[in-house]
Amino acid sequence: MTAASMIPLEKTPENGFVNDVPEFEVDVYTGTNPDRELAGTGVFSSEDGYVTDRNVVERRWAATLEADGVTVRSGSPVTKSKFKSLIDRHDLVVDATGQPSLTSKVAGSTDEYSGYMTALNTDVQGDFSDIFPNTRMILENYAGYAWVFPKSPGRANVGIGWAQLDPPTDHMEAFKQACERNGWPVPSREQTNIAIIPQGPSLNPSRMYVPEFNVVRVGDAAGIANRFSGKGISQAVHSAYIMAEYAANGRLAEYPAALHKTMRPEYLLAHVVRGVLESNRPYLLGEILAAVSGLDVEDADRAPKHVLFRLLRHPIVFARLLSTPSILQRVYDAYTNDWEYRIQKSS
């Protein structure tokens, strides 16, 4: 994750923070064929980024909550009937069950989410000494990317993800081929996790709070993951902090608009970069990455003004970007909140 300070744990391996990442490396290739060319690179510093053992982080965080008197239960699946029971028995239920959320399943409205990405990943053993302690993302001229996030010189999380519009015929086979061409250990199907990631914003903000159910949604359930990088942990924690603040002040109805306001710049930036990726212009994408190289990864991912300032120092690249009609349309759509859903005027 790239905003590790948001998690109230000491950043130690015992707490699951196994690699204090100094830089995120991004390579852009012209395709997946053996004769592909390197179209550009970018290197982004990381002041507050860690590669984690997520299950360890979650267990340690749960232990600190239990020490503060919070009851934490694990290994207890929540069915739709149990969810209804929780709604009946509590003043507020926080839904962090992913996309589509349990709230939508209970309401019969799973189609209210507009889009998603599919990602496969696993931890593998191998020689990652040429990358560690950095991480690497590989863009290969499809709507998605592959990654290797080393946890040590001999262990890493490797994965690959695709946007909904550009899926492979066989996800597992495509994952194996990506590992082979990038020189990473090839995982087995049994080792591999598969996840559905929101193409944020993928849920109408007015639906983040569902007062008739006493339910509020955070994280992936709120549809706020980054639609370019797929990153969602920092966003989930961010949404939870905002939700807690408004709930504590008795202003929960204002939470959806407040969260959306903080997320809009990120939505815009991710939408534009995804547009370059989908336009099959790897050299332009490589030039853009080179132009913004050196930013902190959190700024490069979530702060359009920092990216814009860097691009303005490269007027030719900036002009090429704005000469693409589809990119201008994306900028307009983002500024007018015209996503795959429609925001109700009353929200």
Q: CB of 314 within 8 A of CB of 293? A: no
pTM of the complete model: 0.92
Contacts of residue 183, defined as CB under 8 A and 6 or more positions apart, other chains included, come to: none
Mind listing the pLDDT tens digit for each residue in 245-256?
999 999 999 999
Q: Which residue has the higher pLDDT, 325 or 27?
A: 27
Q: Which two tokens stand for residue 335?
A: 């500024």
Mind listing the pLDDT tens digit for each residue in 158-212?
999 999 888 999 999 999 999 999 999 999 999 999 999 999 999 999 999 999 9
Supply angle C-alpha 28, 34, 38, rounded to 5: 25
Can you tell me the mean pLDDT for 100-108? 95
CA distance 346 to 116: 26
Q: State the DSSP code for 189.
A: T
CA distance 140 to 89: 50
pLDDT at 346: 37
Please say if the pLDDT value at position 323 is more than 70. yes
- Local confidence band at 343 (pLDDT 50, 70, 90 cut-offs): low
Mind listing the pLDDT tens digit for each residue in 224-277?
999 999 999 999 999 999 999 999 999 999 999 999 999 999 999 999 999 999
Mind listing the pLDDT tens digit for each residue in 48-90?
999 999 999 999 999 999 999 999 998 889 999 999 999 999 9
